[in-house]
Amino acid sequence: MSKLFPKSANKLPLQIIVYLVVLAGVVTAGATYYMTPKYTRVGYAPVQPVPYSHALHAGQLGIDCRYCHSNVEKSGVANLPTSQTCMNCHNQVKKDSPLLAVVRHSYETGEAVPWVKVHQTPDYVYFNHAIHVNRGVSCVECHGKINEMEVVTHAQPLSMGFCLDCHRNPAPRVREPGDVFNLDSATIAQKSGLEAAHKFLKDRNIKPPQSCSGCHR
Amino acid sequence: MRNVYLVTAFVVVLAVSILGFRGTPFTKPPIDVFPEWAFPGMKRQPKPYPQGASRFFADGRADRPLPPGVVSRDPLRNDYALYEGKAADGSWLRGFPSALTVDAKLMARGKERFTIYCAPCHGAVGDGNGITKQYGMGATPTYHDPRLRDMAEGEIFNTITHGKNNMLSYADKLLPEDRWAVILYVRALQRAQTGTVSDVPADHRKELGL
């Protein structure tokens, strides 16, 4: 019988176990890296029906976010602008541009412009824009430097861990109310130190919920 | 055994070269780790969303336009000064509606709203030289001529509400109270253009180097 299994076969069970441990490590690393929104969503930059540039409108021209997303301070939803909002300027500026044909068609017929949604939380997450911007959370915290983007690109994972990072420790991320819509502004902590940020939170009684029902219902 | 490790390493390299790294821009719809077919009705629930799509309605949208003749359930808007800018006799209101308190708070609100919605075309000081002018916007009138100085507040309110010439309505962006706040700030801008040193309080003159 000694010929059937070579002597090296004695090590084989151990080698298989070692390999399985290595394999489990590789699979875990892969899943951790690839199976989260940090990989699946960050970088998503769909082709939009109109090549609207935030870098031009919000960055170069300095138009306030609220000019178009006009209900963001009043509503849970930061609305997309009506096509009339586009036509406020584009009934005169580049009014015959073929790139704006979709907007003109929408303005004349009332059909919606088929914008592609970039940032999308699951339906069981009830994110409220108004409550965040009115408490000093700037657009830039979740959306990145939109004012520098030619094409809107998903900048942050917007996963539950991402939300909780800030809900557990909001102090380094809050801004003065006047700075919320200025995406290049510094946070209170950067301007006047963490202590000032903690005071800001205390004065305004800002206590982000960490309970499930704070965001899920 | 060595071959097994080599194959594993090859598979890892292959997977990384196909999947790429985090944060690389891409245009295709994102991969769903928990796809809809495996967990139906969780992530995408069958309910209408603001500005969302709906397969139920013929025009494909979940937001419904108001049917003709619909009556608002909000409190009756019978304060014609506040909501229409008209005085009791039907002429344009001069001054501000009595329902509003004209104070520094209203002025601050007006400045903020003006900067967001008006300044891009009318300019920060209301001279009609907003940023859009450099990009082909037509002639935007300056606030600092006799016609607009003497215009009744109610008529300015009407212009913001319904638009005029090339300017479209801003009623969807500015609530009636905000429109009055903007008018108050416009009045301040007009006043500032004709201001003299005597208008500046004595204790503030130093700040202006006067």
Residue-wise pLDDT for A161-194, tens only, equals 999 999 999 999 999 999 999 999 999 999 999 9
pLDDT per position as a tens digit, A54-74: 999 999 999 999 999 999 999
Q: Hey, are the CB atoms on B172 and A82 less than 8 Å from each other?
A: yes
Asked if B6 has any chain A CB less than 8 Å from its own CB, the reply is no
Give B66's contacts in chain A (Cβ within 8 Å): none
Window 16-45 of B: residues touching A by CB (8 A cutoff) are 19, 22-27, 29-33, 42-45
Which chain A residue has its CA at the smallest distance from B8's CA? A23
Side chain identity at residue A51, one-letter code: P
Question: Nearest 10 degrees: CA dihedral of B56, B57, B61, B65?
Answer: -140
Window 41-100 of A: residues touching B by CB (8 A cutoff) are 41-47, 61-64, 66-67, 70, 75, 77, 79-80, 82, 84-85, 87-89, 91-94
Asked if A108 has any chain B CB less than 8 Å from its own CB, the reply is no
In the predicted structure, residue A3 carries a pLDDT above the cut 80: no
In the predicted structure, residue A36 carries a pLDDT above the cut 60: yes
In the predicted structure, residue A1 carries a pLDDT above the cut 60: no
Helix B176-193 / helix B153-162 crossing angle, nearest 10 deg: 120
Q: How many angstroms separate the CA atoms of A77 and A127, rounded?
A: 8
For A100, residues 6+ apart whose C-beta sits below 8 A from its C-beta are A50, A86, A90, A94
Beta bridge partners of B75: none
- Under a CB-based contact definition with an 8 Å cutoff, are residues B35 and B43 in contact? no
Asked if A127 has any chain B CB less than 8 Å from its own CB, the reply is no
At A105 the pLDDT is: 95
Q: Hey, are the CB atoms on B27 and A46 less than 8 Å from each other?
A: yes
Asked if A114 has any chain B CB less than 8 Å from its own CB, the reply is no
pLDDT per position as a tens digit, A143-158: 999 999 999 999 999 9
pLDDT per position as a tens digit, A97-126: 999 999 999 999 988 899 999 999 999 999
Give B50's contacts in chain A (Cβ within 8 Å): 75, 77, 79
Give B114's contacts in chain A (Cβ within 8 Å): none
How far B182 CA sits from the closest chain A CA (Å)?
14
User: Taking the domains of chain A in order of start, what are their residue ranges?
Assistant: 7-35
- The first and second tokens of residue B68, run together, are 């003709």
For chain B, what percent of residues have pLDDT higher than 90? 58
- The first and second tokens of residue B133, run together, are 């002018």
Window 72-111 of B: residues touching A by CB (8 A cutoff) are none
Q: Report which DSSP code applies to A166.
A: H
Looking at the structure, give the CATH architecture of the domain made up of residues B88-195. Orthogonal Bundle (1.10)
Among candidates A12, A67, A123 on the partner chain, residue whose Cβ is nearest the Cβ of B117:
A67
- The Cα-based distances of B103 to B85, B110, B124 in angstroms read 19, 11, 21
3-state secondary structure of A137: strand
pLDDT per position as a tens digit, A43-54: 999 999 999 999
For B168, residues 6+ apart whose C-beta sits below 8 A from its C-beta are A84, A87, A88, A91
Residue tagged 């394999």 (tokens) = A23
**Among B7, B11, B36, B43, which would you mutate to test the A interface (most chain A Cβ atoms within 10 Å of its Cβ)?**
B43
How far A40 CA sits from the closest chain B CA (Å)?
6
Q: How many angstroms separate the CA atoms of B103 and B179, rounded?
A: 15
* A–B interface: beta-carbon pairs under 8 A: 108
At A5 the pLDDT is: 83
Q: How many angstroms separate the CA atoms of B7 and B196, rounded?
A: 84
- Under a CB-based contact definition with an 8 Å cutoff, are residues A197 and A191 in contact? no
Give how far the C-alpha of residue B16 lies from the chain's centroid of Cα atoms, to the nearest Å.
44
Helix B176-193 / helix B104-117 crossing angle, nearest 10 deg: 90
At A2 the pLDDT is: 62
For chain A, what percent of residues have pLDDT higher than 70? 99
Give B68's contacts in chain A (Cβ within 8 Å): none
Which chain B residue has its CA at the smallest distance from A84's CA? B168
Whether the complex's predicted ipTM is more than 0.90 is answered with: no
pLDDT tens per residue across all 210 residues of chain B:
789 999 999 999 999 999 999 989 999 999 888 888 998 888 888 888 889 888 898 888 898 888 999 988 888 888 899 999 999 898 999 999 999 999 999 999 999 999 999 999 999 999 999 999 999 888 889 999 999 999 999 999 999 999 998 999 999 999 999 999 999 999 999 998 888 888 888 888 888 877
